[in-house]
Amino acid sequence: MKKLAVVLVIVIALVFGSLFLVVSSGLDVGHAQQSQSLQVHTSSTPGSSVMGLPAITPHIQVTSSLTSSSTPSPTYSLDDAIHYVTTHPMPDALITGSKPVIVKAVFLSSQEVSKLMKGESTGVPNGTLLCYIELQGTFTFSGGSGTPVIYHTGVEVFDAYTGNLLIAGGQ
Amino acid sequence: MLQQKVSSLAGLRAGIALILTTSLLLFLWTPSISAQSRQAQTSNVVAYTCGDLHTNHCYATMYWPGSMQGEKTDIRIEPITCGCNGFLNAELWVQSSSGCSPNCWVEAGIKNETGYGYTFYFWADQRPGQGYYNHYMNSIDQGDIGHSTTFYIFKIGTNTWQVSKTLAGVNGCTALCSASWTNYSTNNSMAANYITLGDELAGSSGASSPNIHFTYNYWYNGSWHPQGSGNPGAELVGSGLVPPPDDPPFAYWVNGQVGGPTGGDLVTYCC
């Protein structure tokens, strides 16, 4: 009878211990998932269908009449874009020599931007309004096999509506 | 009365036994927690020598020489962390060493880079005489994680290469998935003569990723063919190949099987 009681106590302890482990593990998993979620999608990251890296903060309200047009006006000014480019390094580019100089800053259609980039596709429809910034300087990018490529014209292209950086490179 | 005493004594014994057994279980469990914590801490401070954002990067890649017109692969999406001073990519390249200096390529994959703090899709091209452009696409979404995304890079016209990211047919994302997209590398006359896929690491510390699987690896010459070991010169290339363990990032073929009937399963991880 006494032995039976001891066995019963051990079984209960194991059951409670297992429950404790399961609950604890569950909390860990929940925590991990939450962390992962935060890392993947925070308020500062773009939505999964929004293209580009967050860059220029839109602050000009687009009026209802403009939103109905096929090419809405930009939500920021060229000065905003110039300020952003001069205060943020171009992603993935090593700048050597003197500080790059902005030689062109303009809002253009995607089709016109593509022409300025020697036929490079912008990835958005031809009529989409973009902000094109061209710089002169020395820009080094990592090459496909580790050999760097160097260009003296740098380009950054932003979505005129979201302000996101869509393209950066050199030619 | 005596019966009551005996009963309460038995209850007390049971309580003590319960506490002791639970303590024993907790004692056995605690070292594994500590070990995991130590491992996590250690992984945060792994240092490596992979140049900076722009040069002297480290690679753990599979190299497939030979003329072709494209490739596709399924990358199982995992979050790449980068409390780092560089970046970590998992991607595929279609490249040309012919008529380009130093080379031309179209690449696509996932990336996390210093200053951004999340994993995003990207593609880029270096066209013969036309410049280098990096296209920043969408972020990975919760539903993408642990599921495969198919990346295509293949020639569809005289000077045009299609670059796509889409749901994989096997283990593809089913809910909370990021948007698929198709872009084009235009005005690109490169004559592709080698394929690479794997990881690229830049910087000196702070980047990491769990195992990322590259499956259903196919090359294209008008139709799709699974990658195999029969291609002369095909080899793992980089500083972090396993075995033997070396510097990050790391890459290996599951079961040592290079390619196979469905293109094999290349695994990369860091750091």
Give the tens place of pLDDT for each residue, B134-152: 999 999 999 999 999 999 9
List the one residue out of B100, B107, B99, B102 whose CA is nearest residue B70: B107
Helix ranges restricted to H, chain B: 2-44
| B79 in contact with A, Cβ within 8 Å | yes
| The model's pTM | 0.79
The pLDDT value recorded for residue B10 is: 54
How many A×B Cβ pairs under 8 Å? 188
pLDDT for position B151: 98
Which of B130, B132, B185 would best serve as a mutation to test chain A binding (most A beta carbons within 10 A)? B132
What secondary structure, in 3-state letters, does A105-130 show? EEEEEHHHHHHHCCCCCCCCCCCCEE
pLDDT value of residue B32: 36
B 126-185 residues inside an 8 A Cβ radius of A = 126-127, 130-142, 144-145, 177-179, 181, 183-185
Tell me if A106 sits within 8 A of A132, measured CB to CB.
yes
Residues 138-157 of A with CB under 8 A from B: 140-149, 151, 153, 155
In this predicted complex, what is the ipTM?
Answer: 0.80
- State whether residue B36 sits within 8 Å of chain A by CB: no
Q: Are B79 and A40 within 8 A, CB to CB?
A: yes
Which stretches in chain B have pLDDT values below 70?
1-45, 229-230, 245
In the three-class reduction of DSSP (H, G, I as helix; E, B as strand; rest coil), residue B89 is classed as: strand
Nearest to A158 by CA among A41, A76, A63, A102: A76
The predicted pLDDT at position B102 comes to 76
Amino acid at A31: H
Tell me, what's the pLDDT at B80? 97
DSSP-assigned beta bridge partners for residue B148: B76, B172
Pick from A17, A141, A143: CB nearest B103:
A143
pLDDT per position as a tens digit, B224-265: 999 986 677 788 888 788 777 678 999 999 999 999 999 999
Render each residue's pLDDT in chain A as its tens digit; 171 residues.
Answer: 556 555 555 555 555 544 444 333 333 333 333 333 333 333 344 457 899 999 999 999 876 544 445 567 899 999 999 999 999 999 888 888 899 999 999 999 999 999 999 999 999 999 999 999 999 999 998 876 677 889 999 999 999 999 999 999 999
Amino acid symbol at A75: T
Residue A6, pLDDT score: 58
Coil, strand or helix: which one is B157? strand
Predicted confidence at residue A82, as pLDDT, reads 98
Dist. CA A78–CA A64, nearest whole Å: 22
Tally of residues, chain B: 271
- Please report the pLDDT score of residue B111 as a whole number: 96
CB-based contact, B3 to chain A, within 8 Å: no
Residue of A nearest to B104 (CA): A144
Helix count and strand count (H, E) for chain B: 1, 17
Among A48, A94, A170, the residue with its CB nearest the CB of B55 is A94
Q: Which of A13, A39, A48 sits opposite B17 (nearest CB)?
A: A13
- Among A7, A9, A115, A167, the strongest candidate for a mutation testing the B interface, having the largest count of B CBs within 10 A, is A9
A123: which chain B residues are within 8 Å (Cβ-Cβ)? Answer: 135, 137, 181, 183
Q: A124 in contact with B at a CB cutoff of 8 Å?
A: no
Question: Do residues B141 and B165 lie in contact, with contact meaning Cβ atoms separated by under 8 Å?
Answer: no
